[in-house]
Structure 1
Amino acid sequence: MAPVRYVQHPRALYSGSKLETDAKGLVVVAPESRSKISKDVEDYLPTWRKDEHYEPYKFHEYHDPALRADPSFSNLLAGAETKNISPKLGTEVKGVQLSQLTDAGKDELALLAHQRGVVVFRDQDFVSKGPEHFVDYIKYFGNPHIHPTSGRPKDVANIHVVLSGDTTEDPFTTRTNLVGFHSDVSYELQPTALSFLTVTNLPVGGGGDTVFLDSAEAYNRLSPLFREKLENLNAVHSAVEQANYSIVKGGVVRRHPVENAHPIVRTTPLGKKVLFVNKGFTRRIEGLKVEESDAILNFLFDHVAKSHDLQIRANWEKNTVVVFDNRVVNHSAILDFDTTESRLIARASAQGERPVHDLKDLNKPDESTLFEGPEYLGNKIADLKLA
């Protein structure tokens, strides 16, 4: 039996949707559950192929498009209506069609997302243009990331899709809340930077917002002495538990899980310092004993989770696209909707730089660390097949 910590995730957090395997071996959403999704977004329904495997990502240089941007935003916001969601985090924009931006406008978009963390665009045509357009668009900002375990559209590997709800089970049978702040795939050697997120199927009864927190302000709130102590520490981010959970629920693992150490205080190419830890994937601090590491990390996790004055909620409407800089914010889905309904999200993300504390190390080559310990269930399954 798998360790308990891997199997107590509530089913509704992922999906109660019924699945089936088609004639070509592709795991797809069955017609009964598919019928609950809007017809115009069926191309975004998740699929899984058990024989889909990729090599771990290798280092590549990253050049931030925000560094090319005109800080006046004349190519992005001319004639647009903007409203700050909070003074330091989040801006809502109306009157801009992302698909029509010039390259200069895209550079400014990267800069605005970096400065504001989260930018909410209404009335976008992204979804209607299809998954292929979604990925082609993200390529301007960097290498599109392929998620190691999540669902993805049938013919497009670079979109992360999560279908949740469609269940009569109580999602809170084992948890009092389901908020899980994280920075996407922070375990990668080069985690994602600019991300485009949309909810393609909205719960009719409302709810299902996404909450974001400001990792730069979280760093600034710490005392100068504590910040100084954190400056020289690296923390290990791990993909192992995510891979194990996928194995336990019969899912896929497209790439062997990795663990990579990143600075707790990360400096982005534009010079912004952020607190780069998250409860989802950060496991331990290098060089410290277990109790010491746990004490510091648990304090930092509580610091960001409880500081509501660091946070905003992005409210979803049809054809809304949220652009966020995954380096400078954490986020979490909010499972407050009627989970007999379905919520379908799609995200495309560009890989960024290898996280560094000092910009003199920017684009310094490194290698990702494959996890080979006994905790990874995939190793045990492989051993059983060989026996």
Structure 2
Amino acid sequence: MATVTSTETQNLPISVQADPQPTEEKAAEEKPTEEKAAEEKTAEEKAAEAKPKIRRAIDEEGDNAVPATYPHYLPVWDHGEKYPPLEPFEHIEKGKGADPTFKDLLTEGFKLQHLTPTTGSEVSGVQLSKLSDAGKDQLALLVAQRKVVAFRNQDLADLPPQEAVALGSHFGPLHIHPTGPTAEGHPELMIVHRTVNTSEYDLILGNRNSTVAWHSDVTYEKQPPATTFLYALDVPEVGGDTAFVNQVEAYNRLSPLFKERLHGLKAVHSGIEQVEFSKKREGIVKREGITSEHPLVRTHPATGEKALFVNKIFTRKIVGFKDEESEALLNFLYDHIGRGIDYQARVKWAPGTVVIWDNRVTSHSAIVDWTTGERRLLARITPQGEAPIETPYVAEPK
């Protein structure tokens, strides 16, 4: 048997010193300290892995990154954040019955400029955070009429995030996105965040010719969003605009016979693919995906206008049509909406800008066209609206 020196003996466990040939039972009971520590460490690691994972963009900022102007708005992905299915509610349309003179909204010193004849406006000289309830109701009506309105020089980003949450809550229950990141501690504030350099741009563009992806937000919900807010935190000096298309005007451009045929049709909208894509990437899933059936033509509760209600991201199929029939009609409508440059508007972002649109009667698309590495950080407030309704087709006077 090998001889053990005194120095070596001091570094061995007591069990080895007392019994040079321990039994297997004793060996199992009296494992070396290093092994026990390793086992305990493994147990700690397992416990840590069992805890919900939280990923924070602020922890992933590189040493050379330009600091965010509002770091508390940098996105957080919390894998432990879970919610039950959304419950139905009675939506109160704030724009219905609001004063059409906008006297509580467009007060002294305001400036209103239309971006195009039918779609989009810019307003300055009005502070959204200071509006009365009557002013907020008139805001809903103005946005319903103009489809999208950009308010300049706003203080919303400088206020505590709960102020933004309170503003949005006036218009309806706030939607929590099932897969989107949020501002930490504020699940109602969905964060849109991107920095783009040349190599990242190539990845984003992929095998496409354009980054444009027209859509209305989360139309798969039973009660999709209505008056929707997006406010700037950090934006590129040039680029990163958002384009909007007026789907009321898209409907109006169709022939009477074609419009009449669309009435009574419903389409399936699905959020299942969005959730499955997030799972595949090991992203967050706060609520399982659902499908809903909505009319192809919906009526706005405040203006009475009819609008096409389909989009390429979430609309899947026309109910009752064969696949080829559904695909042909939907592709025509997607092309008609996307090519309608004469009823579209493009909003340029700037610090202090808040853009508000009516998600029921518009589609929009981010435009990823900058490669400077500048940060584009925006926060979205998404009040839910009514379940889409269709009113009967009325023949136009000849």
TM-score by length of 1: 0.84
Count of aligned residue pairs for this structure pair: 337
Aligned position for 1:219: 251
CA drift of 1:53 comes to 1.0
Query: Is there any run of 5+ residues in structure 2 with no aligned partner, and where?
Result: 1-48, 393-398
User: Which of 81, 100, 106 in structure 2 is aligned with 1:52?
Assistant: 81
Partner of 2:288: 256
**C-alpha RMSD of matched pairs (Å):** 1.7
Q: Once the 2 structures are TM-superposed, how far is the Cα of residue 249 of structure 1 from its aligned partner?
A: 2.0
Match of 1:351 among 380, 384, 388: 384
1:344, distance to aligned residue in structure 2 (A): 1.2
Pairwise CA distance, 1:31 = 4.4
Counterpart residue number, 1:94: 124
Q: What displacement does 1:244 show? A: 1.8
| 1:198 is aligned to 2:226 | no
Q: 1:32 aligns to what? A: 61
Deviates more, 1:24-33 or 1:89-98: 24-33
Which residue does the alignment assign to 1:231?
263
Alignment partner of 1:316: what SS? Answer: coil
Contact 2:227 2:357 in 1 (8 A): yes
Q: 1:356 to 1:338 in 2, by over 3 A?
A: same
Alpha-carbon contact 1:203-1:341 (below 8 Å) kept = yes
- Secondary structure of the residue that 2:187 maps to in structure 1? coil
* C-alpha spacing 1:226/1:198, structure 2 compared with 1 (3 Å): same
Question: 1: CA distance between counterparts of 2:386 and 2:118?
Answer: 24
Residues 196 and 370, structure 2, Cα contact 8 Å, conserved in 1:
no
* Structure whose alpha-carbon radius of gyration is higher: 2
Deviations 1:109-131 (A, max 9, x none): 00000000011100000001132
Question: Which residue number in structure 2 is paired with residue 77 of structure 1?
Answer: 106
Q: Percent identity?
A: 45
Q: What SS is found at the alignment partner of 2:170?
A: helix
Alignment-derived partner of residue 274 in structure 1? 307
Contact 2:265-2:296 at 8 Å conserved across structures: yes
Give secondary structure in 2 for the equivalent of 1:177: coil
- Deviation for aligned residue 1:340: 2.6
1:283 and 2:312 aligned: no
Gaps of 5+ in 1: 1-20, 360-387
**CA-to-partner distance for each residue in 1:237-282, whole Å, 9 max, x for gaps?**
0001211221122211111100000000001112111000000100
Change (3 A) 1:279 1:261: same
Q: How does 1:64-143 map to 2 (within 5 A)?
A: 64-79=93-108, 80-143=110-173
> Does the CA-based 8 Å contact 2:91-2:386 persist in structure 1?
yes
Q: Whole-Å Cα distance in 2 between the matches of residues 222 and 131 of structure 1?
A: 43
Distance 1:53 1:299, change over 3 A: same
Asked if structure 2 preserves the Cα contact closer than 8 Å seen for 1:40 and 1:128, the reply is no
Q: Which amino acid aligns with 2:286?
A: R
Contact 1:65 1:141 in 2 (8 A): yes
Judge conservation of contact 1:247–1:253 (CA < 8 Å) in 2.
yes
* 1:240 aligns to 2:272 (yes or no): yes
- Distance of 2:328 and 2:77 partners within structure 1: 38
Does the 8 A contact of 2:68 with 2:234 survive in 1?
Answer: no
Output aligned runs, 1:155-170, within 5 Å: 155-166=185-196, 168-169=199-200, 170=202
Alignment-derived partner of residue 340 in structure 2: 307
**SS of equivalent to 2:227:** strand
Distance 1:33 1:237, change over 3 A: farther
Match for residue 183 of structure 2? 153
Residue 164 of structure 1: SS of its match in structure 2? strand
Letter in 2 for 1:70: D
* d(CA) in 1 for partners of 2:63, 2:384: 31
Matches within 5 A, 1:301-340: 301-338=334-371, 340=373
Given that 1:43 and 1:131 are in contact with CA atoms closer than 8 Å, whether structure 2 keeps it comes out as no
- 1:24-74 deviations in Å (ceiling 9; x for gaps): 732111243497354431111111111211111121100101113101101
- Amino acid in the other structure paired with 1:95: G
